[in-house]
Amino acid sequence: MTDRYAVFGHPIVQSKSPLIHGLFAQATAQTLEYTAIEAPVDGFAAVLNQFRAAGGLGANVTMPFKLQAFELATDPADSARLAGAANALKFEGDRIWAENFDGVGLVNDLQLNLGRALAGKRVLICGAGGATRGAILPIAQQKPALLAVANRTAATAHQLANDFSGHARLQTGGYEALAGECFDVIINATSTGLSHNTLPLPFGVFAPGALAYEMVYGKGLTPFLKQAQAAGVQQVADGVGMLVEQAAEAFAWWRGVRPDTAPVIKQLTVPLV
């Protein structure tokens, strides 16, 4: 029987995961089936259990089910536990192993694909939601000179400093607290990439030679990236590389072989115009 994997979400029709994992399987000579499954908003656990009972070996999980996936796990990794969310599951008997590969996917894209080593650099993450929670630990492990989190509601950012104490040292606060500071890498982990809204970033926040990184992918120049360009930033990027890199981590976790990501990133990249 063919090994089965799937991505779960609601909606799920927009997911690139079946294409990505299909390309990975072809490139690594792995025989598997990977499908997209749209679960009811109030029925994720039941649909996931049906998939397991039918022989499913692993799953990716996207919105809005990442929190539920973590809660269902019997064996969550630190990446999932600290984020409070899981985006990859592996099934072994009665056990459900959970990982959150979003952060390591981001770090791999920044360092391997975009040439931005994070060690000794000043890094700012905009937003304090789930995407940021998944990114903090992998970025902190690279030993940046400073890792800051800014959010419209400062208290939400401050809570992250408490939640990650002992794992990462964070500078947290509202955007107004960034006045007079500059950063080498600024990451937008908010939902503004899906809207026409801009971030209240103070003048001078982008250091000379900075990279502006938008986690949203395939949307061209988002308001954040336009802000960065207006501030003189030459290197801007969206999250397509993060998407592919986190998928590669899951694929390697399931199959024991890590695919080359460069051809897939090239195929999925939308010009930033």
* CATH assignment of the domain containing 203: 3.40.50.720
State how many domains the chain has.
2
Task: Give the end of a domain, one of 100, 130, 157.
Answer: 100
Q: Residue 157 CA to chain centroid, in angstroms? A: 18
204 with 118, same domain: the answer is: yes
Which pTM does this prediction carry?
0.94
Q: Is residue 158 part of a domain?
A: yes
**What's the confidence (pLDDT) of residue 1?**
74
92 and 107 co-located in one domain = no
Residue 82 within any structural domain of the chain: yes
Going by pLDDT thresholds of 50, 70 and 90, the confidence category of residue 203 is very high
Q: What is the pLDDT of residue 195?
A: 83
> How does the average pLDDT of the chain come out, rounded?
95
Residues 41 and 167 in one domain: no
Cβ neighbours around 33 below 10 Å, total = 15
Q: Which residues does residue 125 pair with via DSSP β-bridges, in sequence order?
A: 149, 187
Same domain, yes or no: 48 and 144:
no
Q: Residue 172 domain-assigned? A: yes
Active site residues: 66
Query: pLDDT at position 118, please?
Result: 98
Residue pLDDT, tens place only, 93-112: 999 999 999 999 999 999 99
The pair of structure tokens assigned to 144 is 């940046």
β-pair partners for 206:
183
Structure tokens at 16: 């690139």
Phi and psi at 268, nearest 5°, equal: -95, -10
Rounded to 5 degrees, φ, ψ at 35 are -125, 165
User: Rounded to whole angstroms, how far apart are CA atoms 27 and 155?
Assistant: 46
Q: Are residues 69 and 107 located together in one domain of the fold?
A: no
50 pLDDT tier (thresholds 50, 70, 90): very high
The answer for residues whose C-beta is within 8 angstroms of residue 103's C-beta and 6 or more apart is 79, 83, 134, 135, 136, 137, 138, 139
The answer to whether 258 and 244 have CB atoms below 8 angstroms apart is: no
At a CB cut-off of 8 Å and minimum separation 6, what does 13 contact?
Answer: 36, 38
Q: Say yes or no: 70 and 165 in one domain.
A: no
* Same structural domain, 94 and 108: no
Share of the chain above pLDDT 90, in %: 91
Question: Taking the alpha carbons of 70, 71, 72, 78 in that order, is the dihedral positive or negative?
Answer: positive
Q: Which residues pair with 92 in a beta bridge?
A: 95
**Residue 87's domain spans which residues?**
3-100
Residue 179 CA: distances (Å) to CA of 101, 143, 203, 204: 32, 23, 7, 8
Same domain, 64 and 117: no
Each residue's pLDDT tens digit, 54-93: 999 999 999 899 999 999 999 999 999 999 999 999 999 9
Whether residues 116 and 224 share a domain: the answer is yes
The packing angle between helices 154-163 and 130-140, to 10°, is 50
pLDDT digits (tens, 9 = 90+) for 206-250: 999 999 999 999 899 999 999 999 999 999 999 999 999 999 999
What are the tens digits of pLDDT across the range 2-46? 999 999 999 999 899 999 999 999 999 999 999 999 999 999 999
**Does residue 96 share a domain with residue 108?**
no
> What pLDDT does residue 273 have?
82
